[in-house]
Chains A and B, each alone.
Chain A
Amino acid sequence: MLEIKNLHVEVEGKQILNGIDLDVKSGEMHAIMGLNGSGKSTLSNAITGRENYNVTKGDIVYKNDSIIEMEPDQRALAGIFMSFQYPTVIPGVNNTYFLRAAVNAKRKYNGQKEYDAASFLKFVKSKLKEVDMDSKYLKRAVNEGFSGGEKKRNEMLQLLCLEPELAIMDETDSGLDIDALKIISRGINNYKDKNRSFLVITHYQRLLKYIEPDVVHVLIDGKIIKSGGKELALELEEKGYGWLEQ
C-alpha cells in the first residue's frame, strides 16, 4: 500500500527527515511514536503533499506509483486521507457544502454519479451516528466554533464519508477527553479492514489502549530508530524515549 524509501524532507531550508523507510501493507495499522520535533508531522505532511515540504531524496510510493510529484488533491483522490492535528477553520464555507464537494470530487474520480443536496444529506446523516455528532454541526462553517473534540470528530466524519484506503491519523488523540477518544477509536476500529491501512501518529501511548497497531515505530531526529510490536509502545510508556537515544 505505502512504501517509503530513504525519505529525506526539508522544510524551509531545514532538514527534518533523514532517511525514513516504512512499508505499510494493506490492512495493516502502523503507529509512529516520537517526541515533539522528531519529525512525525513532517512525515504526514510529506505524504499528503503540503506545500514547502520538499522531498530532497528518496521516494514515497503509494499503490506502486511514486506520488511525490502529485498535487494534494490527486493524492486524496487516489485514496490517501489525513486527519489533521489542528483541523483548519474555514469561515463562510458551510460544512455540508464542503463535505459534499469533497465526496462528489471523489465520486466523479471513481466514475460514480455525484450526489445532489438531498441524497447527500441522507448519506451524511447515516455517517453522523457513527461519530456521535449532532446534525447542527453540518449547518456551521467548517470547524468554526467547534471544540477540540468536535473538530476531531468532524475529521473522522470526513474519513467515513471519503472512504480512504490509507488514513493518516496525525496526533488525533491530543487534546481529546476520554469520551471523544473512545468514539474516535471505535471509528478507527470499525473502519479498519483488510483493504484499509492506518498510519497513526502519536506522542502518547494513550490512544494505543483502544486501538491495536500491528507495528510500532519510534521516530527520533527524523529517523526511525526502532520498530516492534505493540509491546514497544508499553515499553516507551514505562521508560520514556531516553533509553533509545543513546
Chain B
Amino acid sequence: MNLNDYQTEFNKLIAQQSFSSDSHPQRNNTFSKFLDSGIPTKKWEAWRHTDLSFLNKNNFRVSRPDDSQVDSIDISNYKIANTYTIIIINGYFIEGSSVLPKELKVSTYTDKNNWNPKNKKENPFELLNASLSDSNIAIVIEPNASIEKPIHILFLCTGKDNLMINPQITMDISRSSSATIIEQYVSDTSSFFQNTSVFASIEKNASLNHIRIHSNSDETANISGLHVTQSDDSNYNYFQLVDGGALQRSDIYTDLEGKNATCSLSGLTLLDKKQHSATYITSDHIMPQCESSQNFKSVLNGHSSGVFNGRTIVREDSQKTNSKQSNKNLLLSDQAIMNSNPQLEIYADDVKCAHGSTTGALDNEALFYMQSRGINRKDSISLLIRGFVSELINDIKSEDLKNHLFTRFDRWLLNNNQ
C-alpha cells in the first residue's frame, strides 16, 4: 500500500458521512501531515529493525458500517470470565456489557477525543490513526471509584476483505480511582491492518492495570501507539501479550509528570514462522521520586524476529528516581532473530537505575538435569519454556485473566514444541 492508496481510502472515509463532518478539517489537516512524513523506511532510526513489507505489499480498505454485519465469528471464544465486555467488530461498536457501574462511563464515537490537543502524535501511524479513526472509545472512571471487575474491550476482525481499522481509546482514570482495562485484538484467518492509538491519563493517586492482548491472525498487521501520563502518587501497570499477527509494533510512551508515581511495564511475545514483533518504549522521568520498570520477554521460534527497544530518560530534576529495565529472550530456532536494546539516559545524579538483557537458546544443562530425573526431552523443554514465561503471567492479579493468558500460552506451546 503506497501513499496514493492511503489517499484513496481517506477520500472514501470522508465521503462516507458516518462520521461528523465537524471533524473533517482536522482529519484533512492531520492527513496532510501524514502524507508529508510518509511511511517509515528502514532508513529511519526508530524503524531500522521493523520490517513493514507486509503493510507495503498488501492493500487494505477503510471499513464501512455494513462491515459490522457478520455472524461468522463466535464471540464466546474470546470472552474472559468476570469482566465488563465492550465489543467492536470490524471497527464498529456492537455491544456493550449489559450493566456498567455508574462510576464508569464509556462512550463511543466521541469525535472530539480525536482532537484533544494533549494527544501526542509521535509517528506517521499515529497521524494516520487520527485521520482515519473509526472505532473510538472513551472510558472515564469517576474520582474515588474503585472498579473491581476488569473492563474488557474486544476488537474482533473478520471477513474476506482486507480491512484497515483505526481504533482510538482514551482512558481517563480520575483522582484516587482504580480500574483494570483489557484491550484484546483478535481476528480469524483473514488479513487486516489494525492501527491503534491509546491515550491514558492517570490522575493523582489513581491506579490503572492495563492489559493488551494481540492475538490476530498470521495475516494481520498490528501497529499501536500508547501514551500514558501520570500525576502525583499514581500507579500504572501494563502487560502485553503478543502471540499473533504477521507484523506487530508497539510504541509506548509513559510520562511521569507527577512526583512519587510508579510505572511498571511488562510483556511477553511468543513468535513463530515469519512473525515480526517490535516493542519501543520511552519512559520519561520528568519529576522526582518516581519508580519505573520494564520487564519484557520473548520466545522466538521458526524464522521469526523481534525487537525490544527500551529507553528510560531521567531528567535533571528527577532525583531519587528508581528504574529497572530487563529484557530476556529465548531462541528456539537457529533462524530466529532478536534485537535487544535497553537504553538509559540519565541527567540527574541521585538515582538508582539498572538495565540488563540476555538472549540465548534453551539451557542444555537444565535439559539434561531434567532428563536425568526421568522427564522426557519434550516435557523438559515445555517445563523450561513455561518456567521462562510464568514469572510474567503470575504477576497478573486477576485469576480469570491469568488463566486466559496461560491457556493462550499452552496453545502456543503445543504448536511449537512437537
Contacts and interface: CB of A to CB of B under 8 A. Distances in A.
Interface string A59-77: 0000000000001110111
Interface in B378-418: 379-380, 383-384, 386-391
A76 B384 contact: no
Given A72-B368, A84-B369, A105 B387 contact: no
| Central interface residue in B372, B377, B390, by most chain A CB within 10 Å | B372
A141 interface: yes
Interface in A90-132: 90-94, 97-98, 101-102, 105-106, 109
A88 interface: yes
B365 A88 contact: yes
B335 interface: no
A220 to B, nearest CB: 27
Interface residues of A, number: 32
B118 interface: no
Given A98-B383, A101-B383, A105-B379, A90 B374 contact: no
Interface string B357-379: 00000011110111111111101
B366 A71 contact: no
A71 to B, nearest CB: 7
A76 B369 contact: no
Given A101-B375, A105-B379, 7 more contacts: A49-B371, A73-B371, A81-B372, A87-B369, A90-B384, A90-B387, A141-B387
A48 interface: yes
Nearest to A82: B372
Interface string B183-197: 000000000000000
A216 interface: no
Contacts, number: 82
28 contacts: A49-B372, A50-B372, A51-B368, A71-B377, A73-B372, A73-B373, A75-B372, A76-B374, A77-B374, A81-B372, A84-B369, A87-B369, A88-B368, A90-B369, A90-B370, A91-B387, A92-B384, A94-B387, A97-B383, A102-B373, A105-B373, A105-B374, A105-B375, A106-B374, A109-B374, A142-B369, A162-B373, A162-B374
A76 B376 CA distance: 10
A98 B376 contact: no
B387 A158 contact: no
B388 A72 contact: no
A73 B376 contact: yes
Contacts of B391: 92
| Central interface residue in B370, B371, B374, B376, by most chain A CB within 10 Å | B374
A101 B366 CA distance: 15
A91 B366 CA distance: 10
A88 B371 contact: no
Q: Interface majority SS on B: helix, strand, loop or mixed? A: helix
A103 to B, nearest CB: 8
Contacts of A71: 371, 376-377
Given A51-B364, A92-B388, A93-B383, A98 B374 contact: no
Given A71-B377, A73-B377, A105-B379, A93 B387 contact: yes
Given A92-B388, A92-B391, A72 B379 contact: no
Contact of B366 (A49, A77, A90): A90
Interface of B: 363-366, 368-377, 379-380, 383-384, 386-391
Contacts of B390: 92
B372 A76 contact: yes
B368 A76 contact: no
A89 B384 CA distance: 11
Contacts of A90: 363, 366, 369-370, 384, 387
B387 A72 contact: no
Nearest to B394: A92
A96 to B, nearest CB: 13
6 shortest interchain CB distances as A-B pairs: A92-B387, A93-B387, A76-B374, A102-B373, A72-B371, A88-B369
A101 B379 contact: yes
B86 to A, nearest CB: 34
Contacts of A88: 363, 365-366, 368-369
Interface string A8-52: 000000000000000000000000000000000000000011110
| Central interface residue in A71, A73, A141, by most chain B CB within 10 Å | A73
Contacts of A49: 371-372
Nearest to B378: A73
A229 to B, nearest CB: 31
B367 to A, nearest CB: 9
Nearest to A158: B373
Nearest to A108: B374
Nearest to A79: B374
Nearest to A88: B369
A102 B375 contact: yes
Contacts of A162: 373-374
B117 to A, nearest CB: 45
B405 to A, nearest CB: 15
A211 B254 CA distance: 62
A128 B118 CA distance: 60
Contact of A50 (B368, B370, B373, B380): B368
| Central interface residue in A72, A84, A97, A109, by most chain B CB within 10 Å | A72
Contacts of B376: 71, 73, 105
A91 to B, nearest CB: 7
Interface string A131-169: 000000000011000000000000000100010000000
A82 B369 CA distance: 9
A90 B383 CA distance: 10
Contacts of A91: 387-388
Contacts of B374: 73, 76-77, 102, 105-106, 109, 162
A72 B386 CA distance: 21
Contacts of B373: 73, 76, 81, 98, 102, 105, 158, 162
